[in-house]
Structure 1
Amino acid sequence: MASIPTILTTIFLFFLRSTISQQIHSNPDCTGRWIHIRRLPSRFNLDLLTNCSQYPLFDDFCPYLPNHGLGQKTHAKSHSWFRTDPMMLELIFHRRMLEYPCLTPDPNSANAVYLPYYTGIDALRYLYGPDVNSSAEHGLELFDFVKEQDSPNIWARHKGHDHFLVMARPAWDFSQPLINDPPIWGTSFLELPEFYNLTVLTFEARAWPWQEQAVPYPTSFHPPNLSFLESWIHRVARSRRSTLMLFAGGGGVSATPNIRRSIRDECENDTKNGTNGGYVKLCDVVDCSNGICEHDPIRYMRPMMEASFCLQPPGDTPTRRSTFDSILAGCIPVFFEDLSAKTQYTWHLPEEEYGEFSVFIPKEEVVFKGLKILDVLMGIPRDRVMKMRERVLELMPRVIYRRHGSSVDFRSNKKDAFDIAIEGTLQRIKSRLQEVAVL
């Protein structure tokens, strides 16, 4: 793995590139799409990466830093597959922002202002490090800077309504009430009145704050050009689906009734394998306990490509990276509560079309009323299953993060998760500024 200084030097060079690009762009197609990248001291981003091995209770995240947060390649000749850790989204997003075609050096002409603050990485010192008892202070130093120490007119002109940042953790991790003493899990970043106007992109948003919007977890697939993406889609479309349903994950082994336990019990008690609908297996489980699958996509991608349906039960929180892995594998996601996706990823997965690419089974019906998941899925006609899979394949480009430096044909013809997140952010900020102007 490259050394941390080498990684930081490489990233710094792209900071210089962004400075130049912000000065030379004059694209007429950028009307209403101009973004200014706020100049933050390195203590808010790059310096945080030098502490990558200092949180043993969390993990040593140094191995996930190469390739600007995509992680190490799964094998030496790979062009598209990396051992990506979702918590590196802040770094991935920052790197992609430097390639955004509508950057401007003038914040006063910008339609939005991006704060390249590695919020989730900085949160580690409050969650696992020396500042665990000072979590209510998370974000105060950033606010002091953007408001006072650097061109205060940038923040003050709209009171932060035009600023946005990325949080590579669920919003719940930043929602500890300021009055908690002693503090419980999380920091209080999103509870600070100073940041109430900030637009936040996160893995999992809460239901009520208008400023939070969920964006897809990064998968391990980051194609560098359109050819690699189309080749993968073609491969997935031709994959033989010999398993009816698959669960890739951990949990479900406690005595307490819950949806994961119900799934495991149903799979273990299934005696119909090889006798129904042409499937060799009706149910398969890929045990991903203790994080063994997280950076090893081959463990779950091959089984997912052989399954028609991939179960997405909630765990510690409702959302799962596995949702996007399953779409990448052409495996139809099965949800058990709306908070897992439908009310989260409204920019990337059209809310009114969920019945066209996914199945919903209320978890209460399974856990407490004895509804069998297998019975529901086996009752779906084959032709409808085929149409649902086709829709999943159509959605695939929208939920992946293509590799930085992608070819022009890819950037021009296929919007990925980053592109859609930026479009949604610009529209959200525009609408918010119009609302504020009326008040």
Structure 2
Amino acid sequence: MRTHRELMEKSNVRNCRNYFWFVIFASSVFWLFFFYFHSSDIIKGMNRFTSSTNEYAYSVVSREPNSLLLKENSIEASTRLSLIDNGVQPVNRLPVTEKEAEPFNETIFAENENELGNSPSVTEKGIESDNEIPIMENREDACSGRYIYVHNIPNQFNYDMLKNCSSLSEWTDMCRFVSNSGLGPPLVNSKRVFSGTGWFRTNQFALEVIFHNRMKQYRCLTNNSSMASAIYVPFYAGLDVGRYLWGFNTSMRDSASLELAKWLGARHEWKVMAGRDHFLVAGRISWDFRRLTDDNSDWGNKFMLSPEAKNMSVLVIESSPWSSNDFAIPYPTYFHPSRDCEVFQWQNRMRRQKRPLLFSFAGAPRPSLNRSIRGQIIDQCQASGRKCKLLKCDTDENKCHNPYSVMKMFQSSVFCLQPPGDSYTRRSAFDSILAGCIPVFFHPGSAYVQYIWHLPQNYTKYSVFVPEEGIRKGKVSIKKLLLRISKEEVKAMREEVISLIPRIIYADPSSRLEILEDAFDLAVQGVIEKVNSVRREIRERGNYSVGYAEENSWKYNLFGTEGEHEWDPFFSVPKDSNS
């Protein structure tokens, strides 16, 4: 017979077991209800976490300067040359094939393993490896309306010229100047005239090489010409004509451009709009491509007068005011930054720069040009004492071609004189803007009717205009005229000049500015807008015509009208004159 204690212990054990199972049951019910009510929130939270992680990863990738250049191998030209003083070193790139039809779009993934494996990754310094991480995100196409198709023209029209760089000029060793993607040798800042990085001894005729290399870094390239807003032809027209300007007959000077025209005319891309959506960059003045006769003593070639060139948009460092198909873009300067901050720092330095000189001039007289005012300008500068500094390039040639001497003088000057020389425009005008020096122009053809995509239409905001006739007749004192400009006006003009610096420089082709638009960006934008206007007219009228007298091109481009203008007397000379 069990004792009372045994019965009590058995009862306690039973109660503990019942309590234990009750706790387990209650806990189970509790957790079931908890997960029932909160499972959806947990899943959403996990999704949010995953999404945030992906967004962060994408933002890190997208902040890399060149990470959006997917499939660059499929759109590059066949070879990119890196030239050094001792020779040519090709950097191999895969060629564009004419049958490729896929757009170069940062939102498109590699469709197969081989394509992904062959695509290069792009870093701040350029293409460095064959590894690439595709951006796996559906986004709106940011390149819509901005795509550029690049013709894969035969190497004889560009790269072969660089291989034979020693024959590009009769007077200059161009091998040095076409190195570094056309920027030339780096400049050492030993005299503290420049900033720390981004400065090169750039030749004024190297623009087409620089532009071509910049185009390789353009965000919105496509290998589907039907998607392109414009089609770029990387023909080095300026280097081509430059090698034959002295001692060669007209047939030799015309041969490459005629062959290119034949090649383009056979392409299906050309036939869509008869080339009116095509453009190229010729890094010389328009007059070098407008020979009127077949006399061997006549200057230049006939490229700009060919039917093919007349249909294209041709970007030159100086355009003809009487032509509707060529557009001026800035001469290259010595400054080619790779980051936005380098530009901002330079602008701030030019704002703080002390300028003891009222005005300065770097140039030589032109006694062979009857209407040149350079002789009078040199005389006035020399008569102005310490108010003016002169680099007389017929006697101080070494200083005039020395970037240190030129830039130091411009940085010390409030105003920089920019009279016409052999032609209307000067590279010096852009060097002076880069130095924060207010340019003084004597002919509207020197800037105002030229760089319509890059300089303000209201020229009084950034420059001083002195009609050359007053200088020619000795009725205008440059010194007195400039002294009459108030300090407040000078300050406002200088600030405007400094604000223009990003618009007149070409960034280093090995990188890309992220915030600022440089001269390359504005030129591409200008071409696209021009081609779009042609397309609209073709849709509305069924054909395309200029619609105004070509001799009034400068007025129509600037003001959209052919009415009378105060500058008409400046452009009353014959079309074939550049004096």
TM-score, normalised via structure 1 length: 0.89
Aligned 8 A contact 2:250 2:296 in 1: no
> CA shift at 1:133, angstroms?
4.6
> CA shift at 1:88, angstroms?
0.9
Q: Does 1:415 align with 2:517?
A: yes
Quick one: which of 233, 238, 241 aligns to 1:115? 233
Aligned 8 A contact 1:119 1:166 in 2: yes
Q: Find the counterpart in structure 1 of residue 407 from structure 2.
A: 301
Q: Does 1:155 align with 2:260?
A: no
Name the CA distance, whole Å, in 2 between partners of 1:14 and 1:310: 47
> CA shift at 1:295, angstroms?
5.1
Name the CA distance, whole Å, in 1 between partners of 2:310 and 2:300: 18
Name the CA distance, whole Å, in 2 between partners of 1:39 and 1:364: 49
Name the CA distance, whole Å, in 1 between partners of 2:296 and 2:247: 16
Q: Find the counterpart in structure 2 of residue 139 from structure 1.
A: 257
Q: Find the counterpart in structure 2 of residue 187 from structure 1.
A: 301
Q: Find the counterpart in structure 1 of residue 287 from structure 2.
A: 172
Name the CA distance, whole Å, in 2 between partners of 1:392 and 1:21: 42
Aligned-residue RMSD, C-alpha? 2.4
- CA deviation map 1:47-66 (0-9, x unaligned): 01122212563422011121
SS in 1 for 2:387: strand
Quick one: which of 185, 198, 215 aligns to 1:72? 185
Aligned 8 A contact 2:359 2:389 in 1: yes
Name the CA distance, whole Å, in 2 between partners of 1:39 and 1:190: 21
- CA deviation map 1:89-125 (0-9, x unaligned): 1110000001111111111111110001111111134
> CA shift at 1:136, angstroms?
4.2
Q: Find the counterpart in structure 1 of residue 88 from structure 2.
A: 5
Q: Counterpart amino acid of 1:95?
A: N
SS in 1 for 2:531: helix
Q: Does 1:49 align with 2:158?
A: no
Q: Find the counterpart in structure 1 of residue 398 from structure 2.
A: 292
Aligned 8 A contact 1:309 1:332 in 2: yes
Quick one: which of 448, 452, 458 aligns to 1:342? 448
Change (3 A) 1:230 1:371: same
Q: Find the counterpart in structure 2 of residue 25 from structure 1.
A: 106
Q: Find the counterpart in structure 2 of residue 278 from structure 1.
A: none
Q: Find the counterpart in structure 2 of residue 404 from structure 1.
A: 509
Aligned residues: 417
Moved more, 229-238 or 92-101: 229-238
Name the CA distance, whole Å, in 2 between partners of 1:201 and 1:226: 25
> CA shift at 1:143, angstroms?
1.3
Name the CA distance, whole Å, in 2 between partners of 1:76 and 1:243: 23
Change (3 A) 1:299 1:20: farther
Change (3 A) 1:21 1:325: farther
Moved more, 245-254 or 286-295: 286-295
Q: Find the counterpart in structure 1 of residue 318 from structure 2.
A: 204
Q: Does 1:126 align with 2:231?
A: no
> CA shift at 1:23, angstroms?
4.0
Structure 1 gap ranges (5+)? 274-280
SS in 2 for 1:285: strand
Name the CA distance, whole Å, in 1 between partners of 2:468 and 2:202: 30
Q: Find the counterpart in structure 1 of residue 417 from structure 2.
A: 311
Aligned 8 A contact 2:372 2:420 in 1: no
Q: Find the counterpart in structure 1 of residue 115 from structure 2.
A: none
Structure of higher CA gyration radius: 2
> CA shift at 1:426, angstroms?
0.3
Aligned 8 A contact 2:148 2:221 in 1: yes
Change (3 A) 1:170 1:257: closer
- CA deviation map 1:278-337 (0-9, x unaligned): xxx311112333853565311111111111000001000010001100100000000000
Change (3 A) 1:81 1:242: same
> CA shift at 1:436, angstroms?
3.1
Name the CA distance, whole Å, in 1 between partners of 2:439 and 2:189: 31
Name the CA distance, whole Å, in 1 between partners of 2:326 and 2:254: 19
Name the CA distance, whole Å, in 1 between partners of 2:494 and 2:528: 31
Aligned 8 A contact 2:157 2:256 in 1: no
SS in 2 for 1:419: helix
Aligned 8 A contact 1:170 1:203 in 2: yes
> CA shift at 1:240, angstroms?
0.7
Q: Find the counterpart in structure 2 of residue 328 from structure 1.
A: 434
Q: Larger RCO: Structure 1 or Structure 2 (Cα < 8 Å, ≥ 6 residues apart)? A: 1
Name the CA distance, whole Å, in 2 between partners of 1:313 and 1:14: 46
Q: Counterpart amino acid of 2:506?
A: Y
> CA shift at 1:195, angstroms?
2.4
Name the CA distance, whole Å, in 1 between partners of 2:277 and 2:339: 32
TM alignment of 1:339-418, pairs within 5 A:
339-351=445-457, 353-407=458-512, 410-411=513-514, 413-418=515-520
> CA shift at 1:24, angstroms?
4.8
Q: Find the counterpart in structure 1 of residue 213 from structure 2.
A: 95
Identical-pair percentage = 38
Q: Find the counterpart in structure 2 of residue 276 from structure 1.
A: none
Q: Counterpart amino acid of 1:98?
A: K
Name the CA distance, whole Å, in 2 between partners of 1:122 and 1:306: 38
Change (3 A) 1:134 1:47: closer
> CA shift at 1:181, angstroms?
3.1
- CA deviation map 1:43-91 (0-9, x unaligned): 1100011222125634220111211000000128952110000211111
- CA deviation map 1:384-429 (0-9, x unaligned): 101110111111110011112335xx32x11100000000000011
Aligned 8 A contact 2:391 2:400 in 1: no
Change (3 A) 1:15 1:349: farther
Aligned 8 A contact 2:237 2:281 in 1: yes
Quick one: which of 358, 363, 380 aligns to 1:266? 380
TM-score, normalised via structure 2 length: 0.68
Q: Counterpart amino acid of 2:333?
A: T
